[in-house]
Amino acid sequence: MTIPKLRSELSGEGTDGTLTVSSCETHTTHHHSRYRRTTELKFSCTGTWSAERGGATYQDVTVATSSRLETGDKIPAVQVDNTFQQPQDRDPGKDAAFLALCLSLLAFGLHCLLTGFGARGGPGFATSWQRLPAPTVTGPLLGGLFALGLLAALVCSLAL
């Protein structure tokens, strides 16, 4: 995900509209690994998209869907730049929560790198916390980043 795309999703940019389905296709994707083979079904429907508040209408618009739809079905679709998506596929809260959780994991990883916590035969958490370099600075800094990341992930996943 790019920063401009995340910014547009978080700000809710896009034009709401309705897609009138003219046809749907099923695509299969095969994933191979050493021990397992899986097949994933993906659906896409093509039709005419009309803006909700009048204005633009586009022919032959393709939207990824969760299932195969019948001809004539109407589904909500949002136009963002030159792409069309279903509103539930534009969940900015999940993206922002993921980034916030990464902040917490970064703080925890730095703690592990600085103290040796988690290594085989390494110190326990309490002991490693005492081993932080400049513990009066790095302790609150790492703890604050970890807590801030968790809190932001919680807020983003519930509020956005």
The more confidently predicted of residues 159 and 65 is: 65
pLDDT surpasses 70 at 91: no
The more confidently predicted of residues 43 and 87 is: 43
Q: How far apart are CA 138 and CA 159, in angstroms?
A: 31
Domain that holds residue 77: 15-89
In a domain, 3, yes or no: no
Co-location of 38 and 59 in the same domain? yes
Co-location of 133 and 98 in the same domain? yes
Q: How many CB atoms lie within 10 A of CB 75?
A: 16
CA 103 vs CA 6, 9, 108: distances in Å = 16, 20, 9
75-90: pLDDT as tens digits:
888 887 788 888 765 5
Co-location of 35 and 57 in the same domain? yes
120-157: pLDDT as tens digits:
888 999 999 998 999 899 999 999 999 999 999 888 87
CA 120 vs CA 75, 106, 117, 123, 124: distances in Å = 54, 20, 9, 9, 11
Arithmetic mean of pLDDT, 89-93: 59
- Final residue belonging to a domain, choices 89, 111, 137: 89
Return the bridge partners of 46, or none: 23, 62
Averaged pLDDT of the chain: 84
Co-location of 101 and 54 in the same domain? no
Co-location of 97 and 122 in the same domain? yes
pTM for the predicted model, two decimal places = 0.49
